[in-house]
Amino acid sequence: MNNTTKTPHDDFFKLSLSNVRVARDFFRYYLPADMVEKLDLTKMRQCSTEFISRRGKKYIADILYAIPSSEQLYYVYVLCEHQSTVDYDMAYRLYNYSNLIIDRHLNQSKIKTGMQRPIVHPMVLYSGEKKWTAPLSMEQLWRDQDQQLYKSLLKEYQLIEIENIAEEDVRKQQLAGLFTYAYRCRNEKLLLSELRPFFYQYDRFISTAGDDDYLLDVLQYALGGFMPEQLEAIYGMISDQQLVAKEKVMNLVEHLKHTGWKLGMEQGMEQGMEQGMEQGMEQGIEQGMQIGAERTKAKVISKFAKSMLEKGIDRQTISEITGLSLTKLKHLEKE
Three-state DSSP class for residue 12? helix
Q: Is the four-CA dihedral 288, 289, 293, 294 of positive or negative sign?
A: negative
Residues 6+ apart with CB under 8 A from 244: 203, 207
The helix (run of H) or strand (run of E) holding residue 125 is strand 119-126
- In this prediction, residue 263 has a pLDDT band, given cuts at 50, 70 and 90, of very low
238-255 pLDDT, tens digit each:
777 777 777 877 877 777
- Please report, as a single letter, which amino acid is at residue 243: L
**pLDDT reported for residue 60:** 93
Three-state DSSP class for residue 237? helix
- In this prediction, residue 261 has a pLDDT band, given cuts at 50, 70 and 90, of very low
**pLDDT reported for residue 264:** 43
C-alpha–C-alpha distance, residues 254 and 75, integer Å? 44
104-145 pLDDT, tens digit each:
888 876 655 556 788 999 999 999 989 999 999 887 887 755
**pLDDT reported for residue 82:** 96
C-alpha–C-alpha distance, residues 77 and 94, integer Å? 12
Within a 13 Å sphere around the CA of 52, how many CA atoms are in the beta-carbon half?
3
Mean pLDDT of the chain: 78
278-296 pLDDT, tens digit each:
555 455 545 554 555 555 5
C-alpha–C-alpha distance, residues 310 and 50, integer Å? 44
Reply yes or no on whether the pLDDT at 75 is more than 80. Answer: yes
Q: How far is CA 118 from the centre of its chain?
A: 27
Domain ranges of the chain: 31-164, 167-258, 261-334
94-103 pLDDT, tens digit each:
999 999 999 8
**Better-scored residue on pLDDT, 319 or 129:** 129
